[in-house]
Amino acid sequence: MADTDDIREGKSYGLDTPATSAGFYLKGMDGADWGLKNRMARIFNKDSGRTVMLAFDHGFLMGPTSGLERIDLNIAPLAEHADCLMGTRGMIRTSIPASCTKPVCLRTDTGTTILTEMNHNVLISEEEAISMNVSAMAAMLSVGEAGTEAGTIANFSRLVDIGMKYSIPVMGVTAVGKDMARDARYFGMASRVCAENGASIVKTYYTEGFEKVVAACPVPVVIAGGKKLPELEALELCYNAIQCGAAGVDMGRNVFQSESPLAMMKAVKAVVHDSAKPAEAYEVFNDAMQPA
Ligand code: R5P
């Protein structure tokens, strides 16, 4: 029987304080369910409204590329410095300690490698994502190639159906056909198609005219870093994207292939969360490279 002794009557009703009904701090999320917002809040810093996601899902396409030979040695030590970890189920399960409480954005589609024709992807099961306690699921959406466009959009839509059922945000990983210009027109179109199909986050590439890509996408946009650049150039890329309205980065090679991945994480965070200018962030990088 429930303990009914000493039931105290409530007295702190805050009668002078109206209940708040403020909107959510990330764009496009006001109409979202509580669970989805809560997961987004684990990924996106509440003060800056931005995120530094660490991407290490490259291996399912290209095997043990430079910097990802040993996820346990190269990536796990960086985890505490990232806002979110983006990888595949195999690498996260085997090489990221389960005691790590950073939110995970699980790469939820898989398919062919760089050795054959890319983008013929399928989705892994939703039970996998749920059992791994993920905060978001990511799948690629490719526009402009007759052989793969329909399949990737079908995958993506199905993943959003699943995400909506369980309040798990879905991140669209944009791709454009290999013969298409990698410009704001096509990345803008791929980003918009992700949003039209229910993405909660869109990942795309920075290009000239990026402000239009962001403006036409009603949910947060983060940038991939792309191929390894000299550190200052990579920081300029981040800065320019943030100036155009990006909500952060989902960056891989420019972090884990850096001379000092940890120093680069700190510098990227300075740009993303503190709006540091590239030269200031480069100082953060150089300072973090110095032995203590
Ligand atoms: C691309 O399909 C992958 O999702 C990568 O995670 C993404 O391109 C980000 O990595 P990077 O900064 O190396 O381009």
pLDDT tens column, 35-93 = 999 999 999 999 999 999 999 999 999 999 999 999 999 999 999 999 999 999 999 99
Sign of CA dihedral 119, 125, 128, 134: positive
More confident residue, 99 or 20: 99
Query: Which residues form ligand 1's pocket by a CB distance below 6 Å?
Result: 55, 57-58, 173, 224-226, 250-254
Q: Are 223 and 238 in contact (CB under 8 A)?
A: yes
Shortest-distance atom of ligand 1 to CA 255:
12
Question: Hey, is 115 helix, strand or coil?
Answer: coil
pLDDT value at 292 more than 70:
no
Shortest-distance atom of ligand 1 to CA 251:
12
Q: Do the domain assignments include residue 13?
A: no
Specify the range with the lowest mean pLDDT, choosing from 60-64, 175-179, 257-261.
175-179
Task: For a ligand 1 pocket test, name from 51, 57, 119 the mutation site with the most ligand atoms within 8 angstroms of its C-beta.
Answer: 57
Residue 221: partners with Cβ closer than 8 Å, 6 or more residues away: 191, 201, 202, 203, 204, 213, 214, 245, 246, 247
Give the C-alpha distances (Å, rounded to integers) separating 179 from 75, 183, 198: 33, 12, 27
Task: For a ligand 1 pocket test, name from 51, 203, 204, 238 the mutation site with the most ligand atoms within 8 angstroms of its C-beta.
Answer: 203
Q: Which CATH number belongs to the domain containing residue 113 in this structure?
A: 3.20.20.70
pLDDT value at 257 more than 80:
yes
Shortest-distance atom of ligand 1 to CA 107:
4
Q: What percent of the chain has pLDDT over 90?
A: 87
Tell me the two tokens of residue 168. Answer: 């798990």
Res 158: pLDDT: 97
Res 181: pLDDT: 87
Count other C-beta atoms under 10 Å from residue 153's C-beta.
17
Count other C-beta atoms under 10 Å from residue 8's C-beta.
5
CA separation for the pair 22, 270 (Å, rounded): 28
Q: What percent of the chain has pLDDT over 70?
A: 99
Q: Do the domain assignments include residue 77?
A: yes
Task: For a ligand 1 pocket test, name from 238, 250, 265 the mutation site with the most ligand atoms within 8 angstroms of its C-beta.
Answer: 250
If you measure from the C-alpha of residue 225 to the centroid of ligand 1, how many angstroms do you get, rounded to a whole number?
7
Q: Provide the domain limits for residue 82.
A: 34-289
Tell me the two tokens of residue 44. Answer: 């996106």
The alpha carbon of 95 is separated from its chain's Cα centroid by a whole number of angstroms, namely 19
Tell me the two tokens of residue 120. Answer: 């013929």
Q: Are 54 and 31 in contact (CB under 8 A)?
A: no
Question: DSSP assignment of 159-180, as one string?
Answer: HHHHHHHHT--EEEEEEE-TTS
Tell me the two tokens of residue 40. Answer: 């987004």
Q: Which amino acid residue places its CA nearest to atom 10 of ligand 1?
A: 252
If you measure from the C-alpha of residue 54 to the centroid of ligand 1, how many angstroms do you get, rounded to a whole number?
9
Tell me how long the chain is: 292
Q: Which amino acid is at 158?
A: R
If you measure from the C-alpha of residue 233 to the centroid of ligand 1, how many angstroms do you get, rounded to a whole number?
17
Contacts 24+ apart (CB under 8 A), 271-277: 271/235, 271/238, 271/239, 271/242, 272/48, 272/50, 272/51, 272/52, 272/238, 272/242, 272/248, 273/45, 273/47, 273/48, 273/50, 273/52, 274/48, 275/242, 276/239, 277/239
Q: Which amino acid residue places its CA nearest to atom 14 of ligand 1?
A: 226
Q: Do the domain assignments include residue 8?
A: no
Q: Do the domain assignments include residue 1?
A: no
Q: Are strands 51-55 and 84-87 parallel, antiparallel or unpaired?
A: parallel
The alpha carbon of 105 is separated from its chain's Cα centroid by a whole number of angstroms, namely 6
Q: Do the domain assignments include residue 159?
A: yes
If you measure from the C-alpha of residue 55 to the centroid of ligand 1, how many angstroms do you get, rounded to a whole number?
6
Give catalytic residue positions: 203
The number of folded domains in the chain is: 1
Res 4: pLDDT: 80
Specify the range with the lowest mean pLDDT, choosing from 13-27, 214-228, 249-263.
13-27
Q: Which amino acid residue places its CA nearest to atom 7 of ligand 1?
A: 224
If you measure from the C-alpha of residue 203 to the centroid of ligand 1, how many angstroms do you get, rounded to a whole number?
9
CB-neighbour burial class of residue 151 (10 A; exposed 0-12, middle 13-18, buried 19+) = middle
Per-residue pLDDT, averaged over 281-290, amounts to: 94
Question: Hey, is 224 helix, strand or coil?
Answer: strand
If you measure from the C-alpha of residue 250 to the centroid of ligand 1, how many angstroms do you get, rounded to a whole number?
7
Q: Are strands 104-107 and 109-110 parallel, antiparallel or unpaired?
A: unpaired
